[in-house]
């Protein structure tokens, strides 16, 4: 297995599963954002947003992408997810704003499901952008520090940082002044802890997927010379 390094002069490689992992990442991101972000539920006295049952999977895919393919290729996937989220938000807003035909009885239901305010949509995009790039950056740097050992330290450590940034940005920006301060803080903390717990619980699965991809792709990327700017699509 090669231990690749980003030198800036290597020709682009073709990978078997990179596009598939990207598709899974974007699918999970869109579904968790559009379907579950606005619902608050309480189970056994714990209040949390329904979307966090699935949204952390996007961070797991982000970990896998950075661990196997490197920060630069993970960066392209984050930008793909960001663009998909932005388009989905615009399309939802546009569809809701279109005048309903006479006799159409589902406009109110459509507004309830898809009518996220620009504030929530903007907060979600900003939180995703900052959180995912922090997650990928921390994982790549920890991989260098640990010399490729202790994968669990990288996946959990990067999630603690990335999900923390995501939560600290999204909930105050989206809901401060809309929900009570107590509810914002309660949901933010409980969601954050559940997201990190998800990463811990899924660590054995992450190990298996990473091992499979490294062997199948003959790749184990180390970002020794990578430029860690988020504002680039170069690999």
pLDDT of residue 53: 81
Of 65, 57, 189, 51, which Cα lies nearest the Cα of 120? 51
How far is it, in rounded angstroms, from Cα 132 to Cα 79? 10
Residue ranges per domain, the chain?
18-217
Please identify, in words, the CATH class of the domain defined by 18-217. mainly alpha
Instruction: Read off the tokens for 172.
Output: 């105050």
Q: What is the pLDDT of residues 161-193, one digit of tens each?
A: 999 999 999 999 988 998 899 989 988 998 899
CA dihedral 153, 159, 160, 164 (to 10 degrees): 170
Where residue 26 falls (left for φ over 0; alpha for ψ -120 to 50; beta otherwise) is alpha
How far is it, in rounded angstroms, from Cα 183 to Cα 191? 12
How far is it, in rounded angstroms, from Cα 233 to Cα 235? 7
List the chain residues with pLDDT less than 70: 2-11, 37-38, 49
Of 233, 214, 199, which Cα lies nearest the Cα of 18? 214
**Taking the alpha carbons of 51, 52, 55, 57 in that order, is the dihedral positive or negative?**
negative
User: Do the beta carbons of residue 225 and residue 76 sit within 8 Å?
Assistant: no
pLDDT of residue 38: 63
pLDDT of residue 9: 47
Instruction: Read off the tokens for 31.
Output: 């579904």
How far is it, in rounded angstroms, from Cα 180 to Cα 201? 31
Of 118, 159, 109, 128, which Cα lies nearest the Cα of 30? 128
């Amino acid at each position: 297995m090669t231990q690749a390094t980003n030198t800036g002069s290597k020709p682009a490689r073709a990978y078997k599963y990179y596009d598939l992992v990207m598709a899974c990442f974007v699918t999970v991101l869109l579904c968790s954002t559009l379907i579950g972000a606005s619902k608050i539920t309480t189970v056994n006295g714990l209040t949390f947003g329904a979307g966090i049952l699935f949204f952390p999977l996007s961070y797991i895919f982000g970990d896998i992408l950075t661990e196997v393919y490197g920060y630069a290729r993970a960066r392209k996937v984050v930008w793909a997810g960001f663009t998909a989220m932005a388009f989905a938000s615009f399309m939802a807003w546009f569809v809701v704003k279109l005048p309903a035909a006479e006799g159409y009885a589902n406009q109110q239901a459509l507004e309830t499901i898809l009518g996220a305010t620009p504030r929530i949509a903007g907060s979600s995009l900003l939180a995703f952008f900052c959180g995912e790039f922090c997650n990928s950056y921390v994982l790549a740097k920890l991989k260098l520090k640990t010399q490729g050992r202790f994968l669990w330290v990288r996946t959990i450590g990067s999630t603690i940082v990335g999900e923390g940034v995501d939560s600290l940005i999204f909930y105050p920006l989206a809901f401060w002044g809309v929900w009570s301060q107590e509810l914002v803080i309660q949901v933010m903390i409980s969601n954050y802890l559940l997201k990190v717990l998800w990463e811990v619980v899924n660590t054995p699965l992450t190990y298996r997927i990473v091992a499979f991809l490294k062997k199948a792709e003959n790749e184990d990327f180390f970002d020794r010379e990578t430029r860690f700017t988020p504002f680039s699509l170069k690999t």
